[in-house]
Chain A
Amino acid sequence: MAMKAWVPAAGPFAQLQREMNRVFDSVFGRHFQPVGRIRAGYVYPPTNVRETDDAYTVQCEVPGLEMADLEVYVTGDQLTVSGSRTSTVPEEEVTLHRRERDAGRFSRAVTLPAPVDSSGTEATLADGILTVRIPKTEEAKPKRVEVHVGD
């Protein structure tokens, strides 16, 4: 489920697309390919969730946002990331040629499959990607059960 328009490597369509790319984007003109994220079924921010034995790692693509623009909450087994994107385009005395970056408030919740320890949650923001590490509760961590061979 890629949320951005991925230009594939092979195939006739990709070949056509490369031909079209030779007709460069003009900063004032039309473009010939989808940009940023595909609009159908669009959810913001695009999110990846990974699981290790100890924790869940949730990553969100939030380019341009600072930590002060973001609110990250863990409530029960749910992580909520919300915030506000503001446009960098000046409002006055400007000629706008392209506006492809979105602005506005957003909120997204992710329900985690096992109980988590909200107090141990750490959030970092680097290069426009928010990474939230949420440890599992001790009870939710996998335990190796020693199997004793009976006599």
Chain B
Amino acid sequence: MTKPIDVAVETNHDPLEPPESYFVPATDVYETADELTLVAEMPGIKADGLAVTVEDNVLVIRGKPGAKSEAGGEVLLKEFTAGEFYRAFQLPADYDTEKMEAGLRQGVLTLRLPRSERLKPRRIEVKVE
């Protein structure tokens, strides 16, 4: 049902083009007054297999598992497979992608994008003459 990914072969995909086969990471997306946060589950992915790109406000998350990500031996039960993760998001225009911060911990990628300075609500001081 699933096919293994040959990670030794480097693909020359356009970063915006999805790979041939992939999993879609479950993702939480939420906004606070200051920032937009995306939290994506990518179990089995290490930092060196992860690529996060933004082009024309399209955020693309890709993760490739390492070559030796599954244990050896005879399979008795198999409910998950190591495979590539891919997902693309159209970002709203009011976040500063240049200042995006990315963190990966225990297979969970967290991306934080601060709201653009010019779009933050700003209180205008009224001077009494």
Q: Which residues of A contact B (CB under 8 A)?
A: 1-9, 18, 21, 24-29, 33-37, 43, 46-52, 56-57, 59, 61-66, 87-90, 93-101, 110, 113, 125, 127-129, 131
A47 touches B90 (CB 8 A): no
A101 touches B28 (CB 8 A): yes
Note all chain A residues with C-beta closer than 8 A to B30.
89-90, 94-98
* Cβ of A98 to closest chain B Cβ, rounded Å: 4
Q: Which residue of A lies closest to B76 (CB)?
A: A49
Given contacts A24-B89, A50-B71, A101-B39, contact A6 B83 (CB under 8 A): yes
Q: Which residue of B lies closest to A34 (CB)?
A: B24
Note all chain B residues with C-beta closer than 8 A to A6.
1-2, 21, 23, 81, 83
A4 touches B76 (CB 8 A): no
Q: Tell whether B43 is near chain A: CB-to-CB under 8 Å.
A: yes
Note all chain B residues with C-beta closer than 8 A to A7.
18, 21-24
A59 touches B71 (CB 8 A): yes
A98 touches B27 (CB 8 A): yes
Give residues of chain B (69-97) contacting chain A, Cβ–Cβ below 8 Å.
69-81, 83, 87-92
Q: Tell me if A's interface is mostly helix, strand, loop or mixed.
A: loop
The one of A3, A9, A95, A98 that contacts B20, using a Cβ cutoff of 8 Å: A9
Note all chain B residues with C-beta closer than 8 A to A59.
70-71, 80
Q: Which residue of B lies closest to A113 (CB)?
A: B76
